Chain A
Amino acid sequence: NAGVTQTPKFRILKIGQSMTLQCTQDMNHNYMYWYRQDPGMGLKLIYYSVGAGITDKGEVPNGYNVSRSTTEDFPLRLELAAPSQTSVYFCASSYGGGGLAFFGQGTRLTVV
């Protein structure tokens, strides 16, 4: 089983550029999440989705957008990259809100 797969693993962006972080899971989980991890900090929730077509904001949504057109995929879009978005991004999924969360390997993003 692949579990949760994130691409790319590393990326350097220039200020003002846009990009999409891809996340796909093959466990048929209905819940999916995007977190960011800043240096010396725990993970903070950006957006989450409880099923295809349903998304909602988490604790730190500014500067990001998401969509959920299928159960498997939950891409995260950065429209105008800013240095404050330099972070490690994790995608996760679970079966229901109480199910165990499975994490992808993370994407290290640097905005210069």
Chain B
Amino acid sequence: AQTVTQSQPEMSVQEAETVTLSCTYDTSESDYYLFWYKQPPSRQMILVIRQEAYKQQNATENRFSVNFQKAAKSFSLKISDSQLGDAAMYFCAYRFSGGSQGNLIFGKGTKLSVKP
């Protein structure tokens, strides 16, 4: 069974600084997607960034970028120039691209605080 592990329950960063959130996963599949979702206090699940496993190039979205290490099964999220609005729970998620379910498997999350 696939699993996703986020080893940092909480992280803190100073405004304008850079922070990296860690995620590891376990799968025997070779074709899959990885995601980072942001969940602010409003509860809304917001997609931050997506990575296809077959792509070697790391995904980037403005201030958000990932370090995808397929052999190590590692998928970390880097937030540059942190802003107060980045404070939220961040969830790493895995999705197998084959099969019929298409469901996401989530880690337990990392709570990010941003200090002014």
Task: Enumerate chain A interface residues (CB-CB to B < 8 A).
Answer: 31, 33, 35, 40-45, 48, 50, 56, 58, 88, 90, 92, 94, 96-101, 103, 105-106, 108
B45 (CB) vs chain A CBs: closest residue: A103
Interface flags for B27-71 (1: CB within 8 Å of A; 0: not) read 000000100000000111101001000000000000000000000
Contact of A43 among B33, B44, B102, B104 (CB under 8 A): B104
Give 11 pairs: A residue, B residue, CB < 8 Å, sorted on A.
A35-B104, A40-B108, A42-B106, A50-B100, A58-B101, A88-B43, A94-B102, A100-B47, A101-B95, A103-B45, A106-B44
Name the distance in Å between A2's Cβ and chain B's nearest Cβ.
14
Task: Tell me the complex Cα distance, A60–B100, Å.
Answer: 18
Most A-side CB within 10 Å, residue of B42, B45, B95, B101: B45
How many residues of chain B have a CB within 8 Å of chain A? 23
Please name all residues of chain B whose beta carbon is closer than 8 Å to the beta carbon of A44 when the two chains form the complex: 106
Q: Is B99 interfacial (CB-CB < 8 Å)?
A: yes
Whether the pair B99, A101 counts as a contact (CB closer than 8 A) is no
Whether the pair B43, A42 counts as a contact (CB closer than 8 A) is no
A103 (CB) vs chain B CBs: closest residue: B45
